[in-house]
Structures are given as C-alpha cells and as structure tokens.
Structure 1
C-alpha cells in the first residue's frame, strides 16, 4: 500500500523535471560557449589567412616570409602557416577547386593555410584537452593570369628581289604577279596590328566582336584575308596590296593554322594580339599555310650567268599543323617553319674540255626549324627566353623522280647524276651528300628593348659554316666511265668550283622569302604580358 501511494503521488513532478532539464540546459550552455569560442577563433583565423594570402601574392618572391609576418601580426598563438605558390586561371569553364595549380615556374597566386588553437572551457572535461586546432585557407591572385608571350618563327626579309619574289608569289598565288622591289620593301616595312586585323576580319565574316574562339575556327580564302589586310595596312603598302588582291586567290586558310593560341591564353587573347607584324610576313605565312603542297617552277638561268638553270620548289605543310605565330604562357605549342624542297638543274655555259656542257642536278631539303617558349622573367628587367632548334638541312647531287618532289610523306631517293656523256665514249657520273643536323635546343633571350624594337634573333647550327652548295661540291665524288681524255675528272672540279657561290646566291634568297635559312632559325618576340607587375592581388578563394 505504501508503494502504491508513493507511485501515485504526483506532487513534486515539476521539481524533478526542472532538475533534469536544468542539467541538460547547463550542458547545452557549456557546448554553446565552447562552440562559440571555436567559431570566433575560426573567423579570426580566416581573416588572418585572407590577409596572409594577399601579402604573399603581393610579394611572391618572399611569399612565405610575408605570409608568416602578416599572420603573426593579426593573430595570437599561431601554430603553423603553410604557403604554396602557383598559377590561378580565372576561367569559368574550370571548376573553382581546379583553377589554382601549384608549383609552376611563373606563379601569379599564393595559397596560405593558417592553423591556430581555439580554447575550450567546458569541453576540456570531456575531451581532456584545453584547445582544438582550427585551420583555414585562402587563395589570392594577381589579376590577369599567367605571363604570356607572342612569338613567331621564320621571318627573314633582308633580301628582296623583284624578279625572284614575283616568280615565287606567282607560283603560290596561281596568278601572274608583277611587283617592284619598292613594292616589296613597302610590304616588308609596313607594320600591321594583329588585333586590328583580327577585329576587321571578324567584322568582315559577320562574327561577334571579341569572339576569338569562333574567329580561329573560321576558314577563309587567302584573297579575302588579303582584302582585309589592304583595308587596315598603312598607305605605303596599299598600292602593293591592291595589285595582289586583283588576282583571284581561291586557296583556303583556317585562322588557327596561322595564329595558334594554347588554351590558357584564350582569356587574354585580345591583349596578347595587340602587337604588330610585318605585312610581308603575314602574306607569306598565309600563302605557305594555305598552299602546303604546292609546287613552283622557276627558270633563273639567265640571271645566274648559266646556260640554263631550272628550279622546282615544293613547300610542305608545317609539321603537326604548327602555326607560324603563337600566343602562349607555357612551353606548348612548338611552332615550326614549313618544310621545303628545292631541286635545281644547272647547265654550265662553258663546255668541259670542248666536249659538252656539264649538267649538275642538286636536291636541297630543308626540314622544319622549331621554337617554343622556355621562360618569361617578369622581374625588374623583363626577358623572354625561347628554346630554338634549327631544322635538318640535306643537300645531294643526284637524280630524283621529279613527280615525287612534293610528296613529303615519303623520303626522296637519288641516284648518281650523269654530268657529261659524249657518244657513249666518255661518261662522267657524280654524287655527293651533305647533312646539317643540330639535335640540341638553343636558348635565345629577348630583352624588353629587343621586344619593343621587334628584333629578330637567329639560332645557328654549330655544324654549318660555309655555303651549302660550296660545301656539297667539296664532297663531290666523280667517276669516269670510258676514255680518260686528259684529266677530265680534275677539269670537272675546276669548272664546277665557281658554280658553288653562284648557286648559293640563288638558293638562299629564295628560302629567305619563305622565312627559311639553311642551318639557321629566326625567331621574334612580338609582345609579352607580365600581369604580376604593378597589380594589386585579390582574394579568389
């Protein structure tokens, strides 16, 4: 009965509930105090991390010291400060977490992680510790992304010859062209702003202004591109350009094959394109790109002082569809010159020992030269370093299958050439082979003054000293079949020796117009952007 009365007694229930809930409230209050302490400390640590990241990005060369000093000045009891330099790319197509790339050669951002203790007041009784570590990170970047450079390969216009250039241009254009030497000099001296040219071409094609991705994918005729060039070129070049645009030019050109832009540079395309190039360079690069498999025949015997000189020139595609000019912030892409083959058949004006004229066939093959961006130094004195490799050049005395001259997918074979043949009584055959190869990359550095002056620098093969034909004829091996009529082999050498400089004087100006040179590679930096100079860093994450 006593138990029943006790269990049925409802008096004092409120007091019991108050005691139980009071304990719970005390626990929650203790938890709130500790949680509030941790959250407050987290905000303080985040603020210190933000300031430290901005300090590190502002002085990337001393990023760690700047971050540590800033964290210590704005936060007590700092446990650790971690600093990682890298590149930040503000590209909406990239997930935010992937826009920061650590460990690059030219950083423009810093990620800082700060660790500090948050004190515990009541939680220490449960966790058996006085504090918990709070970590917060921040990324600050200099606006503008990575440093970028715009450079080209194969620009050599020191020798401008109206007759030779006209023959070459006529072959490339498929129409008869007659420009004077003054016209060519005007084209070589005219500077065309690439940004202005690109915007004018986009407007002519009906594209949205500034949509360079779409522009690079467009395919246009070279004639249409030249008409746009005529509209934006200076007054001195308009006369020569008008003569070119009168000819129907149907060869087609895709802009990205002429101007290459690697992915990281697309965001800054407008700024990087704001540089000048020679109108002649732009014309020749466009024609080479559009006419990758064209073969041109030239007859230059009279001007060389020979009885006859026939030249066939074949221009191949740039390997891997390389552009002539590129805008990049890293060591890709590699830009290359066009491949070229020259097959010349020279007949001497003098007869050998009064018997017959000497006929000398020579094949010259110029492989592509290469260049890539190696380094951009955005310090007190801005410099751009390119790695350059001159292409392999090979020359042979021999007979080839002329129908295969423009087929660059297979190597050409040659057989010994018959220099002289008289009534099957005397036959002189000859062959020679010379190859220039430089497997190593050569560093070529441009100062800001070089870039401002649009200076062309040349990387030279260490294995090539004399003229190509001169060196080739020094290796000539002559064999005599039939009667030896008084030292014919020695007489051939005497007759052909003066021919070397003459033929070198024909071959090299022809290659000059194509932006090529045997055993050498010409490069030029048209512009450089250093976004880390004089810019205020901003928090990006």
Structure 2
C-alpha cells in the first residue's frame, strides 16, 4: 500500500508549481523592496545634497528653510527628521576629509545636513521608525579683493606737485591740474605688473621673483603708461621721459605688496591702485631712503618740507577670504619753520594702518557687503626747538589707537570710491589745539605749521579702504 503510494506521481506538478510561484513571488517582493529602498536612499541623498547647497547659497541655516526646500520638491516635511548644522569648512589637503568641517565655528561658510525619512510601510522586520538616512555637507568660498591706502600724509594742491617734481627729478613745474589728473586715475595691478615684466625683460617669472626685482624708475612709469593705454594722463608721459635719462632704480616690492605665491590667475582682475600713489611711491623708493627737500613759501616764515620715509604701499588681494589683512605704511614729514632761536621743527613719524576682512555676505540679488575692522597705529608728532633746546621732549600721540568698523558694499566697488576711515584726531592736525607748553614765539611758528599742513590736505589717523572685486562663490558639495 505504502509502496504503491510512493510510486504514484499523478498530480505532483500542481503543488510544485504552487511552491515555485510562491517562492518566486517572495523573491520578487524582496528584490523590489531592495530596489525601491535603494532608489529611495538615492532620492534621499539627492534631497539632502539640495538642502545643504541651498542653505549655503542663501546663507540660511534654519529648519524653516530646509522644510521649504523639501516642500518645493513635493515631499511632506513632517515625514522627515531634519538636522542642519552650520560651520566652517577648511579646504586644507593636510587635514582628513572628516576634519575639514568644524560645526558651529564662525564665520559660517558651510553646512552639514542630516535627513531621515519615516518608515511609513513598516515592511522591515525590525519595524524601525526611520526608513533611510542621508548626510550631506556643502561649502562655499566668497572672495574679495580690497586695498587700503594712506590718508595719514596726503599731499594735495601746489605743494604736492613740487614734492613729486623733486622726487622724480623733474625740472619743470607740476601744476595742480597735473597732479589732480594723477590723483584721479587708477591703474590695473595685473596690467601694471605684466607691462613691467615686459618692459624690464622679466617675462616667464613668478610674481614673487618680479616683486624682488629692481627696475629703473623710467621703466616703472612706462609700465604704468602701457597699462593705462589712452587713459594715461599727459603728465605721466612727461615724467616717464624725464626719468628715462636717469639710472635710479626701484625695487618693485617697495611699491606693491602681494600675497606670497600669488599668481596671475589668482590676482583679481579688478585690483587697482591709484596712479598718484604709484608714481609717488616709485619716485620715493628710487631715492634709496634719502631725504628730498622742498622749499615752500609761506607768509612770515621760511619753511623747508622734507620727505624721506618709506613709501606708501597697498596690499593687493586676489582671493582674500575672511580674516585676510591689508596693510599700508605712511610717508613721513619733517617741517622746519623760522630761523635762529625761533626755529621750530615738527617731525610727523610714519604710522601704519591695517584692514582685516571680518565677514563677506553675498545676497541672492547679487549685492554684497564686506565688513572690515580698520586700525591705525599711533602716529606721533615730535616737536623740537632751536639748538635742541626742546630736544625730543614733546612727543604727541596723534592717533586714538582704536579699531573702527567699516562696511563696504557693491556700490563702493562699482563707483571706485573709498570708504574714509577715521581713527585719529580727524582731518585737521591743529597742533595748537593740543595745548603744548610752548613759548609765544614757538606757538606762532606752530600756527604756521598748522596752516601749511591744512593747506596741503594733511590728515592724521585716516585711511582709505577700497573694495575692488567681490566673487560670491557658488556652493559645492564636500566630504
């Protein structure tokens, strides 16, 4: 009986087929589940990437913004657990990729986003509430080109023309109009350096090598003419031709200061410097630190104006990030008034000014705001009398030494106008107003010095901050 049952195969195909179909259906369900979960994870990762990119682009790291992005993509934000953590990303190849992002470190330039999607199907055997998890980190690099120039010793009017003529060795007269043409003109820094390299036969060298090179004063002025083209004022051509007959040389690094390792590609195309500053600094640097005297006529006094301190320079940034600094050092003035026992000398020592980029904010409409901290180091007026009777006893601090905040916008960049930073006693020196213990005769001489410095446009504890170029970087994924 049993043997007959074992040998009977009628109807065996049906249960086998049913078992096969059941196994195939189960396999199909598992496969589809894996495929759907994989697609869901990819979709979730893409969504996390998008949330991070938009948070960094708009510099809005709130959950409200993240939920709005999810809603715009057709998702229900309530079905997600969302974490957005702003921080700072440092693209340092020496650091491990995981260590390049520091949460909560300001100023923010990156964001890390974590998304977890709710498990609404409950297919998984462990019945976990979250179906999948995705993490994304995005960053951006906003860069700015800026420069700081001096107003601590700023010569304007006829005196400035006389000073420039003496510095450059020009035998003619530089009028107020000529000097104003120089003061109003701007020179492209990349164009000037490229023209200077060509003029001096220094092609195919790095900017570091170029800055350490010495060229003739005439070559520097010719390079400025080449960089400006038809915009070069006529007086620049006169000075260049006059300087071509001399062998005085200037080290380029005494005129301009660039970041170490700066390349032509890295230097912002909008980086500029004032032509008057460039010409004056070039001429002064060519003096080799020697004093240049200029006789100035003034009522009731004989005044000798000497200029011989290191030239002004501006640090030119091609890719300045938050925390970058630019420095300027100033010319110094020695003013002597009177004769005999009534002779008075006023030495205004050179000072320095530093601008530090605190933050750069790029708005969605293309506007940008750069926030700076500017500090002018204490400038000092040293007053001496005839035959050293006063010696160097009177040293007057002309700067408050405080840090001043300044905000420059896109409008400053478009107009080319600087922000005037005042961190000292103001636009007028007013040495008499300092209440110095001087005799009547010396007070009279000091008043003459006051009038002269005001006529020259001399300002104490001031600087000009220029915003040259702003590059609002596009957000990118990292990590």
State the TM-score bracket (shorter-chain normalisation): 0.7 to 0.9
Q: CA deviation at 1:229?
A: 0.8
Whether contact under 8 Å (1:87, 1:101) holds in the other structure is: yes
Pair 1:64–1:365, CA change in 2 (3 A): same
Give 1:180 shift: 1.6
Write the distance in 2 (CA, Å) between the matches of 1:109 and 1:313. Answer: 49
| 2:381 equivalent in structure 1 | 395
**Does structure 2 conserve the Cα–Cα contact (< 8 Å) formed by 1:295 and 1:312?**
no
Indicate the residue corresponding to 1:161 in structure 2.
158
Do the aligned residues in 2 keep the contact of 1:331 with 1:374 (CA within 8 Å)?
A: yes
Distance in 2, matches of 1:94 and 1:213, equals 28
CA distance in 2, matches of 1:509, 1:119: 81
Structure-2 separation of matches of 1:49 and 1:129: 24
Tell me which of 280, 287, 291 is aligned to 1:296.
291
Residue from 452, 476, 488 that aligns with 2:437: 476
Question: TM-score, normalised on structure 1?
Answer: 0.66
Distance in structure 2 (CA, Å) of the matches to 1:525 and 1:466:
22
How far off is 1:438 after superposition?
0.9
In the other structure, the counterpart of 2:12 is none
1:441 Cα deviation after fit:
0.9
- The verdict on how the C-alpha distance between 1:81 and 1:444 changes in structure 2, with shifts beyond 3 A counting, is same
- Provide the C-alpha distance between the structure 2 equivalents of 1:219 and 1:135, rounded to a whole number of angstroms: 58
Aligned pairs for 1:239-258 within 5 A: 239-243=237-241, 245-246=243-244, 247-254=246-253, 258=256
Q: Is contact 2:357–2:373 with CA below 8 Å preserved after alignment?
A: yes
Distance 1:416 1:52, change over 3 A: same
Aligned-residue offset at 1:386: 2.9
Point out where structure 2 has 5 or more consecutive residues left out of the alignment.
1-22
Pick one of 455, 466, 471 that aligns with 1:525.
Answer: 466
Q: CA deviation at 1:333?
A: 1.6
Question: Given the alignment of the two structures, is residue 281 of structure 1 paired with residue 277 of structure 2, yes or no?
Answer: yes
Q: TM-score of the superposition, structure 2-length normalised?
A: 0.73
State whether residues 399 and 417 of structure 1, in contact with CA within 8 Å, keep that contact through their aligned partners in structure 2.
yes
Map of 1:369 onto structure 2: 353
Matched residue count = 443
Instruction: Show the 5 A alignment for 1:201-240.
Output: 201-204=196-199, 207=203, 219-221=213-215, 223=217, 224-233=219-228, 234-237=231-234, 238-240=236-238
In 1: Cα distance, 2:207 partner to 2:119 partner:
51
Q: Deviations over 1:240-297 (max 9, x none)?
A: 3424542333121228x7143489x979734x33254431122234456x46971314
Give the structure 1 partner of residue 411 of structure 2. 449
Kindly tell me: are residues 285 and 298 of structure 1, through their superposed partners in 2, closer, same or farther at Cα, counting changes over 3 Å? Answer: closer
SS at match of 1:188: helix
Equivalents in 2 of 1:326, 1:378: separation in Å? 18
- Equivalent runs, 1:106-121 vs 2, <5 Å: 107=108, 109-116=110-117
Asked if structure 2 preserves the Cα contact closer than 8 Å seen for 1:106 and 1:376, the reply is no
1:198-246 alpha-carbon deviations (Å, 9 max, x no partner): 44345555545xx976677553426333221121222424433424542
- Where do residues 402-441 of structure 1 align in structure 2 (5 Å cutoff)? 416-417=389-390, 432-441=394-403
Q: Cα gap change, 1:284/1:375 in structure 2, threshold over 3 Å: closer, same or farther?
A: farther
2:136 aligned residue (135, 138, 155): 138
Q: Distance in 1 between matches of 2:301 and 2:155?
A: 28
Tell me the CA shift for residue 521 of structure 1. 1.2
The superposition leaves residues 110-165 of structure 1 with CA deviations (integer Å, 9 ceiling, x where unpaired) of 432212367999973xxx554676432224456xx214142322157671326x54
Q: Which residue of 2 aligns with 1:426?
A: none
